Amino acid sequence: MQPALKTTSFKQKTNQVLGISLEDARISKSYLAVAFIALLLGGFLGLLQGLNRAGVLQLPPWLNYYQVLTAHGILLVVVLSAFFTIGYFYAGLSHTLGGLLPKVRKMAWIGFWMKIFGFVLAVIPILRNEASVMYTFYPPMAASPMFYFGLVFIVLGVWMLSFGAFTQVANWRRNHKGEHLPILAFFATGVFVLLVGATAFVAVEVIFMIIPWTLGWVDGINVLLARTLFWAFGHTAVNIWYLTAVSAWYVIIPKIIGGNRWSDLLTRMVVIPLVIMNITGGFHHQIIDPGISESIKYMHVFMSLAIGFPSLMTAYAMFRVFERTARAKGGKGLVGWYKKMPWGDVRFLAPFIAMVAFIPAGAGGIAQSTNQLDQVVHNTMWVVGHFHITLGMSVIMTFFGISYWLVPYLSKRVLTPAMNRLGVIQTIVWTIGMVIMAISMHIVGLFGSPRRTSFTTYGNFAETLGWNPYMAAVGIGATLLLIAVILQVYAVFNLMFFAPKGVTEFPIAEEEAGAEKTPYWTERWGVWVILMLIVVSMAYVLPIVDMIMNAPPGSPPFKTW
């Protein structure tokens, strides 16, 4: 036992002095490269959608709106976010746990190629217009079976990566009995636990329900059950990307502004409920579905709003950290301290705007989770505005901010002042574009304009004339966003391959001197997972049994595009 302990801590030290090993860096760089290529493609498709809805661009028959939208959704919420999250946390595990174990590295590569293979399988039918079913693929719309096989490989890849992360963490814990998992690894553990939990639902949906049905082995499918399983996954997925962003808010940003991180115990107490209570939020996507009773829906308002609480704790913690740091640097006054923040540093500016965006994003989310309010906006453009603020600002802008130090850290290069300036410009352009686009989407949604609908006037219905100015604004926002996408992707690849060589640190903030010691119970992951399973069963067993027992005759597959 003893020697093993010594070698790890020795490795941990070399890691901190020499930076990440080339092999570990290659893994994270590959994930990040895929993520940002997905951003480029997805952003371009987003522009096509924005221009179409503004009424200025008619898409050709060989590339219709719904094909484009399916690809946009998959590239951005399935590829970009997942590949970024994995690349970032694997770098974090390597850095804080003394380098990846060789077998974990192997698992990371197997997972990578499984995900890529699955993605290629899914994209081919989309390109051939055989899978224009959106990233939600609600049955009884049925895509070509190849699309679903692709999804299966993506899920298998995610599992491989999650087990890689668990192996790494378990090994560290074995060698560091009684110690707390480093905070970034703690977040990573939560994220990978949720990834397994979430994908389990969609795996059941795809493997046991959809694939046998599209292959013609069974003739009917339970439409409501499939949707329910999908949202247990889909909702959790976006919350995983959010938790990833939150990890940077707590762990990285305080270091970048030269401060200390928030109470270690309170940080861990935000992660734990986010893991335990997350999956059950899925029902808020089905508030106006038939076949689910009002009392179940009401219970789920509570389940969804409950995760608002840790987010509100986070809001407090962040502004407190900023204020303390600024005051320590001589900032004065009730609000005057803000002048001491490093506004010109893109590594701070982008995630800061991301956090500010979370205020309207969270407020909108709370409104939408309550049943009657959701009924007003469900499936309107409001919702599209909402997730471009949550994902397109709170999450993605945090990821952008991370990329300006993570990529040079991995490539052993540095962020030059010129590149930093480009990053600041990128941040501003993206913010303006997203704000214009998202506000217009929210407003036009309240007027009733539906989501997932190519340009239409519904036979010159007078009502829709009022929508036009807002849709034009969506087109303008989309154009600005594409400019920002190009700047961002340029920055990432420049930092990866061309920026000047040098040493960039992995910025992890320390606790305040003399901080209270965190009690050990926070490390009981077994307990957290069991609690998660209990909460999930409380939420899902009754409705799912009801959906199966009282199911209507199944629906046959349809191809309606």
Partner 1 sequence: MKMHLDEKIWLFLSFGMIMGFMIFTGYQAVALGMGPPSHKETIDPKKVDQTAPFDQPGIKQIGENEYEVVMTLQVFSFTPMEIEVPAGSTVHFTLTSKDVVHGFQVANTNLNAMVMPGHIQKISQKFDEPGEYLVLCNEYCGAGHQAMSTKIIVK
Nearest in space to 201 (alpha carbons), one of 287, 257, 281 = 281
Each residue of 92-126: b (16+ CB within 10 Å) or e? Answer: bbbbbbbbbbeebbebbbebbebbbbbbebbbebb
* Cβ proximity of 88 and 406 under 8 Å: yes
Contact segment (CB under 5 A) with Cu ion among 104-112, 194-202, 234-242, 319-327 equals 234-242
Contact segment (CB under 8 A) with partner 1 among 235-243, 251-259, 349-357, 374-382 equals 374-382
Shortest distance (Å) from residue 81 CB to Cu ion: 14
Contacts of 33 (CB under 8 A, 6+ apart): 492, 493, 496
Q: Which of 7, 9, 375, 537 binds partner 1 (CB under 8 A)?
A: 375
Q: Which of 19, 46, 118, 385 binds ligand HEM (CB under 6 A)?
A: 46
Nearest residue to ligand HEM, using CB?
A: 46
520 makes contact with partner 1 (CB under 8 A): no
- CA-to-CA distance for 353 and 350, rounded, in angstroms? 5
455 makes contact with partner 1 (CB under 8 A): yes
Shortest distance (Å) from residue 281 CB to partner 1: 13
Q: Which does 494 bind (CB under 5 to 8 A by kind): Cu ion, partner 1, ligand HEM, none?
A: none
Q: Which of 91, 444, 481, 539 binds ligand HEM (CB under 6 A)?
A: 481
* Cβ proximity of 71 and 34 under 8 Å: no
Contact segment (CB under 8 A) with partner 1 among 12-20, 145-153, 166-174, 369-377 equals 369-377
- CA-to-CA distance for 86 and 92, rounded, in angstroms? 10
34 makes contact with ligand HEM (CB under 6 A): no
The residue behind tokens 């999956």 is 279
Shortest distance (Å) from residue 445 CB to ligand HEM: 10
Nearest in space to 205 (alpha carbons), one of 135, 156, 152 = 152
Q: Which does 292 bind (CB under 5 to 8 A by kind): partner 1, Cu ion, ligand HEM, none?
A: partner 1
Return the number of the residue (235 or 297) whose C-beta is nearest Cu ion: 235
378 makes contact with partner 1 (CB under 8 A): yes
135 makes contact with ligand HEM (CB under 6 A): yes
Q: Which does 235 bind (CB under 5 to 8 A by kind): ligand HEM, Cu ion, partner 1, none?
A: Cu ion
Partner residues linked to 380 by β-bridges: 450
* CB-side neighbour CA atoms (13 Å) of 273: 17
Q: Which of residues 514-543 bind ligand HEM (CB under 6 A)?
A: none
Q: Which of 76, 122, 251, 536 binds ligand HEM (CB under 6 A)?
A: 76
Q: Which of 113, 298, 338, 343 binds partner 1 (CB under 8 A)?
A: 298
Q: Which of 8, 81, 314, 440 binds ligand HEM (CB under 6 A)?
A: 81
Contacts of 66 (CB under 8 A, 6+ apart): 132, 134, 452, 454, 561
Nearest in space to 506 (alpha carbons), one of 165, 89, 189, 73 = 89
Return the number of the residue (343 or 558) whose C-beta is nearest partner 1: 558
Contact segment (CB under 5 A) with Cu ion among 186-194, 198-206, 235-243, 501-509 equals 235-243
Q: Which does 301 bind (CB under 5 to 8 A by kind): Cu ion, ligand HEM, partner 1, none?
A: partner 1
Q: List the structure tokens of 484.
A: 């920002």
- CA-to-CA distance for 83 and 78, rounded, in angstroms? 8
Return the number of the residue (72 or 235) whose C-beta is nearest Cu ion: 235
- Please report, for residues 94, 167, 209, 475, the alpha-carbon distance to residue 446 in angstroms, rounded to integers and kept in the order given: 47, 48, 36, 18
- Please report, for residues 44, 187, 190, 396, the alpha-carbon distance to residue 248 in angstroms, rounded to integers and kept in the order given: 27, 10, 14, 12
288 makes contact with partner 1 (CB under 8 A): yes
In the three-class reduction of DSSP (H, G, I as helix; E, B as strand; rest coil), residue 550 is classed as: coil
Contact segment (CB under 6 A) with ligand HEM among 75-83, 287-295, 367-375, 503-511 equals 75-83
Dihedral-angle region of residue 178 (phi above 0 means left; psi in -120 to 50 means alpha; beta otherwise): left
Q: Which of 113, 138, 343, 498 binds partner 1 (CB under 8 A)?
A: 138
- CA-to-CA distance for 418 and 415, rounded, in angstroms? 8
235 makes contact with Cu ion (CB under 5 A): yes
| DSSP per-residue string spanning 205-244 | IIIIIIHHHHTTSSS-B-HHHHHHHHHHHHHHHHHHHHHH
316 makes contact with partner 1 (CB under 8 A): yes
Contact segment (CB under 5 A) with Cu ion among 4-12, 156-164, 231-239, 262-270 equals 231-239
Residue type, 85: T
Residue type, 333: G
DSSP state of 380: B
Q: Which does 135 bind (CB under 5 to 8 A by kind): Cu ion, ligand HEM, partner 1, none?
A: ligand HEM
* Cβ proximity of 560 and 143 under 8 Å: no
Shortest distance (Å) from residue 458 CB to partner 1: 4
Q: Which of 21, 163, 175, 308 binds partner 1 (CB under 8 A)?
A: 308
Nearest residue to Cu ion, using CB?
A: 235
Return the number of the residue (26 or 559) whose C-beta is nearest partner 1: 559
Q: Which of 74, 141, 165, 274 binds partner 1 (CB under 8 A)?
A: 141
* Helix orientation angle between 81-96 and 2-18, rounded to the nearest 10 degrees: 120
384 makes contact with ligand HEM (CB under 6 A): yes
Helices (H), 100-177: 102-127, 145-175
Task: Note the residues at the interface with ligand HEM (CB under 6 A).
Answer: 43, 46-47, 49-50, 53, 69, 72-73, 76-77, 80-81, 134-135, 384, 387-388, 391-392, 396, 451-453, 474, 478, 481-482, 485
